[in-house]
Chain A
């Protein structure tokens, strides 16, 4: 009679799962980096003076945010080939994740920019800064610490939704765990390990974000205690 949780079996499958973890992490980091770029592009397009562009981009963001990621990934993987565009599972996965989360990121950036007090723009105009200097020297440096926390949350959401890509054949951690389960008729150990690995990754990610936040606003948000 096998024990309820087979530690020997768990130990045996751990190396396979860990090497798949590597793939998951690379997928998540790469997709997130592209999502940031994509988010900035969407944000800029949304502010274009030509109204039709701004509205279309707004509608696109709304559409992507309101439909499930797995539907979008299936469209990219199974529908695009009908139009002659054939992408391998990895490209599809990175593309799907970065488009989906890019839309969220552009909203994060937008709310970060909008949260700055108007007085900052007034002062920049009064001092004669060009639009470019106003953005690069005044607006963006103040926006970054404000968007770190929500951006970090989306990095973690993104990593946690990457197992969806198992359904199109990306050999990331969930895909390997499912394989192991099917080969051995045991799901408890692989799924438990996958859960624990995600827990560790999420906790580590959250740590990094808090560290970045502290590093950023460190000197200028810190108050001396002048009136005690």
Chain B
């Protein structure tokens, strides 16, 4: 089992609450993820699992609580509601995110998609950025597509470019938001094999939202079952998937298996 005791936390949620108008999507959420830990978030749609990733990436605001990344407050709450840290852009640099809908920049080639942020944000020279983009593209097996535009790539290829683009910023924490949900069944495998490799070879902290229980079982150290904006169950893949304690977890897993 994964040794969580001796490692420092990478991400901590402290009593995090999020509201969309009057709709509460996260309830008093507490979560600790240690460095190098791989966590899968599962649950029905609307349970708040994507929101957990999106507030961590600061794509959405939180109203209550605190989020700490590698010891620094990304969201702080001094009793008057949560505010984003003035150093958010620096703290956020340790986090990379891959999206369900790829979100590649359609006006840039695969190579440009990967090299743009290192050039603009990390201020790498064009040569450096291009060289490292070539390496990343080779790692996801798409060297021959370096000059293709996203519209010329299949979904699986686009998602692999998106993963390479995210890695180009050298993040320590990876967020995968249903990265295979928009793919054709035949291209899911090529994306999963990249993710498997990242999970096994390098020391990333990974938070992943997924509907594929086999992937969650294979890659994660821990699975969280979310329901109604709360973490209802938290355990090892074996415990959650084979021997769930909560009725809601059981009925969710049954529904998924029948589908």
Chain A interface (Cβ < 8 Å from any Cβ of B) = 117, 119-120, 122-123, 125-130, 133, 137-138, 141-142, 219-224, 226-227
Contact = CB atoms under 8 A, between A and B. Distances in A.
Contacts of A219: 149
B103 to A, nearest CB: 4
A203 to B, nearest CB: 30
Nearest to A145: B107
Interface string B80-98: 0000000001001101110
Given A127-B121, A137-B120, A221 B59 contact: no
Contacts of A130: 89, 120-121
A127 B107 contact: no
A223 B151 CA distance: 6
A128 B116 contact: no
A129 B117 contact: yes
21 contacts: A117-B103, A119-B103, A123-B105, A125-B57, A125-B58, A126-B95, A126-B96, A126-B99, A127-B165, A128-B117, A129-B120, A130-B120, A130-B121, A137-B120, A220-B108, A220-B150, A220-B151, A221-B106, A222-B152, A223-B151, A227-B154
Given A123-B105, A142-B107, A222 B99 contact: no
B26 to A, nearest CB: 18
B105 A129 contact: no
A122 B59 contact: yes
Contact of A123 (B89, B95, B99): B99
Contacts of A221: 106, 151
A221 to B, nearest CB: 6
A127 B151 contact: no
B101 A127 contact: no
A220 B121 contact: no
B105 A120 contact: yes
A130 B95 CA distance: 16
A133 B120 contact: yes
Interface residues of B, number: 31
Contacts of B97: 122, 126
Contacts of B148: 224
Contacts, number: 74
A222 B103 contact: no
A181 to B, nearest CB: 51
Closest 9 CB pairs of A and B: A119-B103, A123-B103, A127-B117, A126-B97, A220-B149, A128-B121, A224-B152, A133-B120, A220-B107
A117 B121 CA distance: 22
Contacts of A128: 89, 92-93, 117, 121, 169
B161 to A, nearest CB: 12
Q: Which residue, of A133, A137, A222, has the highest number of chain B Cβ atoms within 10 A? A: A137
B33 interface: no
A122 B50 CA distance: 13
A2 to B, nearest CB: 60
A142 B104 CA distance: 12
A125 B89 CA distance: 9
A18 B66 CA distance: 71
A213 to B, nearest CB: 14
B164 interface: no
A103 B244 CA distance: 60
Given A119-B101, A119-B103, A126-B166, A137 B152 contact: no
B120 A226 contact: no
Given A119-B99, A130-B121, A220-B150, 20 more contacts: A117-B101, A117-B103, A120-B103, A122-B57, A122-B97, A123-B99, A123-B104, A123-B105, A125-B57, A125-B92, A128-B93, A142-B107, A221-B106, A221-B151, A222-B149, A223-B151, A223-B152, A224-B148, A226-B154, A227-B154
Contacts of A120: 103, 105
Contacts of B89: 128, 130
A142 B107 CA distance: 7
Contacts of A141: 107
Contacts of B59: 122, 125-126
Contacts of A220: 106-108, 149-151
Contacts of A133: 120-121
B133 to A, nearest CB: 13
